[in-house]
Every structure is written in C-alpha cells, then in structure tokens.
Structure 1
Amino acid sequence: MRGGEPARRTWRYRWVVLGVATFTQAASGFFVQGIGAMGVHLQRDLSLNTAQLGLLLSAAQLVPLAGLLVAGELLDRYDERWVVGAGACVVAVSLGAGSLASGYVSLLLVLLVVGAGYSTVQPGGSKSVASWFDASQRGLAMGIRQAGLPLGGVLAAAVLPVLAAALGWRVTLVAGALVALLGAVTFVCLYRRPPAQSPARDSAPRDSPSRDSAPHDPEPRVSLTSWFGARLRMLREPSMTKIIWSGMSLVSVHSGIGVLTVLYLHEVTAVEAGPAALVLVATQGAGVAGRVCLAAWSDRGGSGRYVCVLACMVAVIAGMSALMTPLGRSPAAACLLFVWLGFFGIGWYGPWVAYLAESAPRGRTGFALGLAMAVNQVAVVLAPPALGLLRDLTGSFVPAWGLLSVITAVALTVTARGGRRSRRPVA
C-alpha cells in the first residue's frame, strides 16, 4: 500500500507536467500569435502593406531555422526545465525591450530575438510530455500540449487588438512580455523529469556503453561534420519523409490562416475589424479543439496516427477550395469556413507531433523534434510574406488560397501511400 501511493502520486503528477507545458507554450507564443489579429491596427499605425505585415510573423520564425536544431541537442543533454525556462525568459526580455522600438525595422529585430528564445519552448515542451506519457495516452497528451499555441492565439486575438486600439501597439509588447515571463517562472518552478529518467541516461545514444560498464573510457572524438551528418540521416527515414512533407504544407496553411483571416473578412466580406478579430478567436479556438480531439482519435484509431494527418489535409483542401467560390464572399459562410479550417488546419499538429515523437530514434527524441520543426520553419518563414505579397500583387486573396490548396494536395499525394502502416510501437 505504501509502495503504491508514491506511484499513484507520480502518475498524477504527469497531468501537472502536461498543464505546465501547455501553459508555457501558450504564454511564450502569446504575442506572436496575436500579430494577425492586430493586422488592421499595425497596418494603420506603422503604414504597412500586407507583405510587410507577413514579414513580422516571419521575423519571429527565422532564427528557429537553426535554433530548433541547437535546442534539440540541448534537450538531449540537459534538463528540460532549464532549457525551456531560459528560452521563455529570452522571449519575455526581448518583448519588454521591444516596447521601446522606434518603428517597423526595430520591431523586426526584436521579433528575431523572440524567435531565438522560442526555439527551446516548442521541442522542449513536446519532449517533456512525451517522456511522461506512454503510447496509449501520448496522442491525447500531445494534442492537449500542442493546443497551447492556438490557445495562446485565442487569448491574444481577444486581448491584443483591444489593447492596441486603446493604448497603442507598444503596450501589446509589454503585455506579451509579462505573459511570457509568467510562463517561464511556472515551468521552472513546477516541471521535473520522470523519476526513472536522468539527464545523463536520456542523453546517451542507444548504442553507447553506460557509465557503469565503462567508467574510465573517454568519449570518442567525433568531428562536427560526422556529428551533423549522422543526425541529418534521420531525414532519409520513410517516417521522416511523411513528417516533413505534411508538416511543411499544413504549417503553411496555419500561417496563412493567422495572417490573412482578419484582412480577408474585413476587405472581402465587409466585416468590421473588431468582429473579424473575434472570428479569428473562434478559428483559433477550433484549432485548440482540433489538436485535442484529433490526437485522441489517433490514440484509438486502428489505422495509425498518420491517417489522421491525411484526413486533415483532405479537409483543408476542401475548405480552401470553398473560400475561392462565391460561398467565400458570404460573411456567414466565410466565418464557418475559417472555423472549419481552424479545426483541421491548426488541429493537425496534435497527431503529427505524436507520430514524430514515436518515430524518433531512442535517445534522440529532442533532436528529432528539433530537426522536423526546423524544417517546418522554412515554410513558417516564407509563407506569411509570400502570401501577403501575392495578395498585394494580384489584389485578390484567391491566389493565396489556391497556392495553399495546391501545396497541400501535393503533400497529400506524396505521403498518402503507406499511411496505414505509419504507426509504430514504442519500446
């Protein structure tokens, strides 16, 4: 009985870890997720076109191209508590300094630093949850944890436009800094590793000798080229191929929803800026529900987690196609379509990241998460300004929705084969 009670307390604490990781994710991404909702205010106050607005989102995602790889390696070597906590603190400090920015260029530079700090939060939170939950509940747990990003978007879309309208855009950076700092403090104070896991053991490669078996053997020296090449060989794995294709297409859709929803509703369907921001709140809320529900489905579906990702791609293509028809010019129909796109075009991340964590080599979960997310960053960086520029050049949103539909259709075609065999038991 005595032995069972500590085990039960440990079992219950994983839900605390899940809550902490989810909150830190939402807090760290709070300001960046609200940029699209503030689009009308930022365009007015800083005299921006759509491409420049999209570039603000890209600036926050540029450094993670390399930062996610570094963060992944750090997570395989050190305690997530300090890696994630330090990154969230960088987000908070840089946003606080950004409130003093003199204009658009200064704001871009601030968001570059924000991206550097955020590089640790995304893979770090995913690894912390994956280490506490087994395969039977990992999809649901990952879905809840990954719901942190759109959850932060829901709160940001509801709060930041109001602050920007009443007090100016600089105050929104102060608000973002305070929220990010709260997330950092919460994670550092409450997170701990599972009892059976130690930093040294977790960071050791699967085929390396233990410290007990060879206490005096020095570690072999490996050149930087060999070290990097060994890790990049993960990209050749069939599971990683599916991860990359689907991730890059669907993260482009997510970026497009974030930067274009409010502008589209305001310009095409004549919805005022305030109500349009509320539609983005509902869209992000649907994404929260999607990340949880779709990940839970992947836990119980016998056909594998990746089939759930394929279903999301089909749903996204259908929604984007409908936006390009006269149906997309109706305010009510357009709002419903964006909620649909939120559920599938944001919700896909739950089962996707669970599939990624289960496909990673033993002892390299952190780096595998960082590598796949770094590849995704290419699309995250390019999509917002590219879609904004396409809108500026053509004077229409139809080419942007069409491009996203084509990219998703290509990814669906390339990765659909073998999707039913994608689920792999975890040792």
Structure 2
Amino acid sequence: MTADSGGELTPDASAFHAPTHPYRWAMLAGVWLIYFSFGIFVASMAPLVAPITAELGISHGAMGTVLGAWPLVYIGASLPAGALIDRMGPRRSIMLCTLLITLSGILRGVADDYLSMFLAVAVFGLGGPLISIGAPKVMSLWFEGKERGIAMGLYISGPAIGNIMSLSLTNSVMMPLYGGDWRAVLFTYAGVAVLCGVLWVLISAHPASRTMEQQIAAEPKRSQIQVFGELLAEPVVRLILVMSVGMFIFNHGLNNWLPEILRTGGMDAATAGFWASVPTAVGIIAALTIPRFATEDRRLLVLGLLILSAGVATMLLHLSAGPLLAIGLMCQGVARGAMMAVSILVLVESRGVDSRNAGAAGGLFFSAAEVGGVLGPVLVGAIHDLTGGFAASLYMMTAICAALLMFLSWLKRLM
C-alpha cells in the first residue's frame, strides 16, 4: 500500500521518484494514445463537410460555425480544466477526456440537424483541454531535464499523426468501406477513442501510477483563485501567455487556409492538397527531434529559431511555385511542429511554476492561445475579403513573428 488509512503517504511512497522510474515511458505512451485520438477528431469533420451539409441541409456558413464550436468551448473550459487536473490528478482527468471525446463522436454520428451537430462538436471542446493541459502535466511529473523535452516532442507527434490519418483515410478508405455512410465513419473513430481510453486505463492502473496519484492527493490544496493569481503575478508567465496568442494565430491561420493560399497561387486543388500536407509531415519530424535540444541553457535560443522559421515561411509563401516555396512550407512545418512544445516547456520550467500548479499554468496557456486559434482563421479570411488576396494576411503574420521575436528578447531579460 502507498498510503495509510488516514491518507498519509507511507515512507515508500514518499521516496518514490517518478523521473527515474522506468514506467515513465509507458505513461508517455498512454498520453500519446489519447492525444492521437484527439487529433483524429480535430480533423475528422473537414473531409466530411460535403456529405454532412447535404444530408443535414445546412449551408457552408452554418457548417463553419459547427467547425468552430469546439475551439470556442475550449477557451472557456481551459481554466477550469487546468484546476481540475491539479486536483484530480492526470490519471482520472485524462480518463474523463476520453469519455468526452467518445461522447462527441457518438453524438456527431446521431446528429440530425444543425443544432444537434453544433452541440455534438461543442462537447469535444470540453474534453480537449483535459488532454492538452493534462499531457504537459504528466510530463512535468514523470520527466525532468533533457528527457522532459524529449517526452514533450514525442507526445506532440500524437495529434499530428491523428490529423494525417484522419485527413488521408476518411475519403480514400473509410467512406468507400462504409458505402459513403459518414455516420459509420464517425462511429468508427469513436471506437478508436474507446480503444485508446481502455489502454490508458490499463497503463495508468500500474502501481507506479497509483503511487504518483497518492503523492498528488497528499499535496496541500490551495484556492484556485490564489493559484491563478500567483501565476499571473509572474511577469514571465504573463509574457508567455501574450506570445501564445501570436503563435496560435500563425499556426491556426495557416493550417486552415494553406490549401486555398496555394490554390490561388496557381495550383489545382489536388496539387495544393499535396503541398499543404508537407508542413504536417515536417511538423511530425520537428516535434520528435527539436524539443530535446531545448535544454535550460539554450531553450530561448531554440524558441527564437522556431519563431524565425515561422517568419521565413510567411515570406516565402508569397511565391506560387519552386524550391523556395518548398523551403517555406518546410519552415512552416518546423515551426508548427515544435513551437508550441518548446513554449510550454519554457512555461513549466519558469519561475513560479512546478508540478503542483503545472495544470493551472497549462490552463492559462491554452485559454490565451486558443484566442489566437480562433482569431487566426477569422483574420485571414476577413483580410482576404477586404483585399481580394492573401498577401496582406501573410504580411500580417510576418509582423506577428517580428513582434514575437521582440517579446522573446524581453523574455530573455526577465528569466
């Protein structure tokens, strides 16, 4: 047993040190699986827009609000999710995440009108923060030093691979397999989430995970208002939150509009789709390799190079073809794959943040960042309508990258 009847830790549990325990890699694998299922659902609706709008009789404008339902809920749910993770511990909170992802998938499959589909997608916004925030919480508990960067890079690849599989297999394999029944496709993806959830339950039931849970339960609990107040009192935390908005404007703005940017540059739809997949593929490689180099002595340097890569991408995307465009797409992929992971690493390693309040810090990060996640696609679309092209939007993103570099120099002085 790890705790006595009064809930106090036994000497064995008190001496438990997760960052040196071999089971930390199994916990990482469990987190990866849940984040993978999250990534599948993030991208699951885009390939199904045509059959869903046709069957439910809704316009593309209405479908746009359906696709945007979960990020809006995500913003509001991030702060309470972070607090919940710090109190419940990651084992149970990530389990809850799996239930909500599965519920969203099932509700999408049975939706029969605009409102029911909107609410089904919105439920996903309740589960999303639990894994987005819970994953770095697990990394802060089970890893330290250089290994923490490696672990963050590995788990970030989960949603990216889920995205790619969903986008590439939905129309080429799943829809033909089910005779064009989009509801069956969504039920299948819900089944994948269930399988990942079962594996997480089995992995997190290990005695080492239970011991960690006892350690979290034994920590003194503080008012979440006090926790958030202490975090926001740290200038480094506030600055990282501001920077996260700009980073997500870049990521989400380009992620959503890149195929159209390439198409208006002269590519046909199929070619644009192929080239638009380049940043995703490069991003997976970047997520797996770059964060491990973000050690304490060069973390800000790595982040600066990633921001610079993002800026170069926004300039080269003005081109319509050629090797420089390919370089721009690869630069976008490098920034897309590693910038968020390294930013979170800077946050959880900053003054005033530790494993006890990493969930709350993650909640603040994603609450701020997803404002940029919503603004990015909206700004790019609105500027396009005003100017008749994407050049002004790309100039805006270049300016944001320049501002991020200035903020980074300020951050360096504060740390």
TM-score by length of 1: 0.81
Q: 1:252 to 1:378 in 2, by over 3 A?
A: same
Bigger shift: 82-91 or 37-46? 37-46
The answer to whether 1:259 aligns with 2:259 is: no
Q: Is the 8 A contact 2:82 2:363 kept in 1?
A: yes
Equivalent in the alignment of 2:158: 148
Equivalent in the alignment of 1:342: 333
The answer to whether 1:22 aligns with 2:32 is: yes
SS in structure 2 opposite 1:21? helix
The answer to whether 1:296 aligns with 2:289 is: no
Percent identity among equivalent residues?
Answer: 21
Q: Is the 8 A contact 2:253 2:373 kept in 1?
A: no
Q: Is the 8 A contact 1:64 1:377 kept in 2?
A: yes
Q: 1:233 to 1:413 in 2, by over 3 A?
A: same
Equivalent in the alignment of 2:87: 77
Equivalent in the alignment of 1:271: 268
Residues 45-194 of structure 1: pairs in structure 2 closer than 5 A: 55-162=65-172, 166=176, 167=180, 169-191=182-204, 192=206, 194=208
Q: Is the 8 A contact 2:140 2:355 kept in 1?
A: no
Unaligned runs of 5+ in 2: 1-11
Cα drift, residue 316 of structure 1: 0.7
The answer to whether 1:202 aligns with 2:220 is: no
Residues 277-356 of structure 1: pairs in structure 2 closer than 5 A: 277-299=273-295, 302-303=297-298, 305-324=299-318, 327=319, 329-330=320-321, 333-356=324-347
Cα drift, residue 318 of structure 1: 1.2
1:101-123: CA deviations, max 9, x gaps? 33555433322111112121111
Cα drift, residue 54 of structure 1: 5.6
Q: Is the 8 A contact 2:129 2:366 kept in 1?
A: no
CA distance in 2, matches of 1:345, 1:414: 19
Q: Is the 8 A contact 2:90 2:134 kept in 1?
A: yes
Q: Is the 8 A contact 2:246 2:400 kept in 1?
A: yes
SS in structure 1 opposite 2:197? helix
Equivalent in the alignment of 1:250: 247
Q: 1:374 to 1:73 in 2, by over 3 A?
A: same
SS in structure 2 opposite 1:96? helix
Equivalent in the alignment of 2:377: 384
Q: 1:418 to 1:93 in 2, by over 3 A?
A: closer
CA distance in 2, matches of 1:41, 1:335: 33
SS in structure 2 opposite 1:389? helix
Cα drift, residue 234 of structure 1: 1.3
Q: Which amino acid aligns with 1:270?
A: M
Cα drift, residue 331 of structure 1: 6.5
Q: Is the 8 A contact 2:312 2:328 kept in 1?
A: no
- Aligned-pair RMSD on alpha carbons? 3.3
1:276-295: CA deviations, max 9, x gaps? 33434332121111122220
CA distance in 2, matches of 1:368, 1:111: 26
Q: 1:105 to 1:127 in 2, by over 3 A?
A: same
Cα drift, residue 174 of structure 1: 2.8
CA distance in 2, matches of 1:103, 1:333: 45
Equivalent in the alignment of 1:425: none
SS in structure 1 opposite 2:410? coil
Q: Which amino acid aligns with 2:307?
A: M
CA distance in 2, matches of 1:158, 1:406: 33
SS in structure 2 opposite 1:29? helix
Q: Which amino acid aligns with 1:20?
A: G
1:250-269: CA deviations, max 9, x gaps? 12211123211222233433
Residues 30-45 of structure 1: pairs in structure 2 closer than 5 A: 30-35=40-45
Bigger shift: 119-128 or 31-40? 31-40
1:163-206: CA deviations, max 9, x gaps? 6875265454334322322222221221258569544542566x
CA distance in 2, matches of 1:185, 1:230: 32
CA distance in 2, matches of 1:341, 1:252: 13
CA distance in 2, matches of 1:246, 1:8: 31
Q: Which amino acid aligns with 1:318?
A: V
CA distance in 2, matches of 1:8, 1:239: 27
Cα drift, residue 227 of structure 1: 4.4
Cα drift, residue 64 of structure 1: 1.9
Cα drift, residue 99 of structure 1: 2.1
Q: Which amino acid aligns with 2:328?
A: L
Give aligned pairs, total: 394
Q: Is the 8 A contact 2:314 2:395 kept in 1?
A: yes
Cα drift, residue 355 of structure 1: 1.8
